[in-house]
Amino acid sequence: MIDTLRLTAEEARGLLERGEVSARELFDAYRAVEDDLNCYLLRLDEGEGAGVPIALKDVIGTKGIRTTAGSKILESYVPVYDSTVAARVKVAGLPVLGKTNLDEFAMGSSTENSAFGPTRNPWDPERVPGGSGGGSAAAVSAGLAPWALGSDTGGSIKQPSSLCGNVGLRPTYGTVSRYGIVAFASSLDQVGPVTKTVRDCALLYSIIAGRDACDSTTVEVPDVELPSAQDLNGVRIGVPTEMNDHPGIEPGVRALVHKSIELARELGAEVEECSLPLSVDYGLACYYLIAPAEASSNLARYDGVRYGLRVGADTYYEMVERTRDAGFGDEPKRRIMLGTYALSAGYYEAYYGQAQKVRTAIAREHAQAFERFDVLVSPTSPTVAFRLGEKAADPLAMYLSDLLTIPSNMAGLPGLNIPCGLSEGLPVGLQLIGAQLSENTLFRAGHALERAIGFDTVPERLR
């Protein structure tokens, strides 16, 4: 019997290598688990390759396999080529289990914005799994995939991983190719792993990362080291006051993060408080100018002509208007309007130009902190998983979910979520932020802490 709830990808790989299970048996074990949480938009009945199977967020373009980005406008879109990450997953021999649910065009923090219905949280189905990559996170927690890929623009890997109790890495911007990924905000989008353990995360990162001739923003990546150290000797950890004492952080979350920081000290880390005054005060506002601005130009390609939905009409303009009206949900429409406004003549300098300057200041503030520290820590999400519908009608309340994940994203830095305990029976996530290209440091610190914390990633109701 394969216990899909407990088996890590590394253990699964061991079973395959020793011939204790076949790739087909492994695939079928995950395929057989009922998807009563709506994790998947599409499940495949068989996969190619002899490795550990994987689920892909449905913004990841897959040749011959429907890729919807959670939108009606791409409901019947079947890419004619593979994204680079999908191609790398294939080369590594990982069979694809299916495409996971998400907020439409990855815009959201709860997966309630999916045009195909929300995903539910495996710890409590009345609650959201986070977003936008709620499908990938819920699938890994609920035993529907041993590991998965997500994408993170403002927090869409880190925040759902936090709410579902798994490990998630948003890699350094430029380490993972965006070629063939449905674009949201190109200067921020980054694909990364969602897994049960930090070691699985490092393994998967090593498969997808690296320079790609098809994406000129990618760089060479240092060799990935599988973490094994159990201590944190010599690791300098900074605790940004603004990110740990913010009034929006729930007391239960604050307490568990505080406990993990104490644990880090016991493991040998040097821990000190520090400050990122600009990043938390202005990060979110800056993000909600830059991300919608980029989204408004990226989404202009959905015009009923190139690909995707077309609603017929007598004139070209009428056709485009009807296509977009029928094809886009409320959140993409909201972002297109915000972004178009921020980029319009007369306002461009005041909004977009200003936001770019603030972004530079945020990057500088982080760079200064990394002169003194190897890792910065904070909660990943200020709250545990909230109820379905609780924030759906209030976009601003929803946007606050990413208060703590956005600042380092604006600076292009890697961030790792690891679960650090339960508050009110729901997972709490610890965010570890590193300097550019310091993924190995995050893996090392994350692994040592993960071991010491001893979090059980299987949702209590499924044990």
CB 111 within 8 A of CB 130: yes
Which window, 28-36, 106-114, 266-274, 417-425, contacts ligand GLN (CB under 6 A)?
106-114
Binding to ligand GLN by residue 192, rule CB under 6 A?
Answer: no
Angle between helices 330-343 and 277-298 (to 10 degrees): 100
Q: How far apart are alpha carbons 47 and 56 in whole angstroms?
A: 13
Least separation in angstroms between residue 459's CB and ligand GLN is 23
DSSP 8-state symbol, 416 = E
**Residue 108 is a binding residue for ligand GLN (CB under 6 A):** yes
In the complex with ligand GLN, which residue's Cβ is closer, 120 or 335? 335
Q: Which of 7, 37, 65, 106 binds ligand GLN (CB under 6 A)?
A: 106
Shortest spacing between CB 282 and ligand GLN, in angstroms: 16
Nearer CB in complex with ligand GLN: 4/114: 114
Tokens of 62: 């897959």
Q: Hey, what's the torsion of the CAs at 300, 301, 306, 309, to 10 degrees?
A: -70
Question: How many of the other CB atoms lie within 10 Å of CB of 409?
Answer: 29
Among 122, 154, 238, 308, the residue binding ligand GLN under the rule CB under 6 A is 154
And the tokens for 294? 């980029």
Q: Which is nearer to ligand GLN, 369 or 404 (CB)?
A: 404
Q: For ligand GLN, which is the closer residue by CB, 159 or 260? A: 159
Which residues are known to be catalytic?
A: 57, 132, 156
124 binds ligand GLN (CB under 6 A): no
Would you call the peptide bond into 408 cis, given omega within 30 degrees of 0 as the criterion?
no
> What is the smallest separation between the CB atom of 73 and ligand GLN, expressed in angstroms?
17
Query: Does 320 engage in binding with ligand GLN (CB under 6 A)?
Result: no
C-beta neighbour count of 457 within 10 angstroms: 19
Residue 184 is a binding residue for ligand GLN (CB under 6 A): yes
153 binds ligand GLN (CB under 6 A): yes
User: Taking the complex as a whole, how short is the minimal distance between the CB of residue 39 and ligand GLN, in angstroms?
Assistant: 17
3-state SS assignment for residue 35: coil
Our CA angle for 288, 289, 290, nearest 5°, is: 100
Among 291, 403, 404, 435, binds ligand GLN (CB under 6 A): 291
Burial of 81 (0-12, 13-18, 19+ CB in 10 A): middle
Find out whether 286 and 359 touch, Cβ atoms under 8 Å. yes
How is residue 168 annotated by DSSP?
Answer: E
Binding mask 379-408 for ligand GLN (x = CB under 6 A): -----------------------x------
- Binding footprint of ligand GLN on the chain (CB under 6 A): 106-109, 132, 152-156, 184, 291, 402
